[in-house]
Amino acid sequence: MKLLAQSSYWVMNKDITRALGSLEASLILSLLCDMHTMHPEEDMVFCKQSYIEKETGLSYHRIGKAIELLESRNLIYRERETQTLQPKMLYKVLEDNVLELYRLKI
């Protein structure tokens, strides 16, 4: 029991999950929110697909579908940074839109 209590856990809002209709999208949104919380000085956070796979246990295909859903609902913005040798994907959670979705569903 102590092991479970001391380990990391996910926080997902039920209303937002229902509004999205996707547990996977809600999980990825939670992960991106956590990353923004860990790096509050950054406007956008860098996140590799492999990191999302490792952290969530979701497949490449499911991650892609969930990110597309989050983008189509205007909850996240992603941008490919190409000015480095290895292009990176940067993400921004559009906090105002997430709060608006939450307000509409409560």
Asked if 75 and 93 count as a contact pair (C-beta separation under 8 A), the reply is yes
85: DSSP letter: S
**Could you tell me how many residues make up the chain?**
106
Question: Who wins on pLDDT, 84 or 96?
Answer: 96
What is the reported pLDDT for 73? 96
Looking at the structure of the chain, the number of domains it has is 1
90: DSSP letter: E
What is the reported pLDDT for 4? 47
pTM of the model: 0.85
Tokens of 88: 């990176």
Residue 2 belongs to some domain of the structure: no
Mean pLDDT, to the nearest integer, of 58-84? 92
> Model confidence at 83, in pLDDT bands (50, 70, 90)?
confident
CATH label of the domain that carries residue 76: 1.10.10.10
In the predicted model, what is the mean pLDDT of the chain?
86
Residue 79 belongs to some domain of the structure: yes
Residue 1 belongs to some domain of the structure: no
Residue 82 belongs to some domain of the structure: yes
Mean pLDDT, to the nearest integer, of 5-16? 76
Residue 99, phi-psi category: left (phi > 0), alpha (psi -120 to 50), beta (remainder): alpha
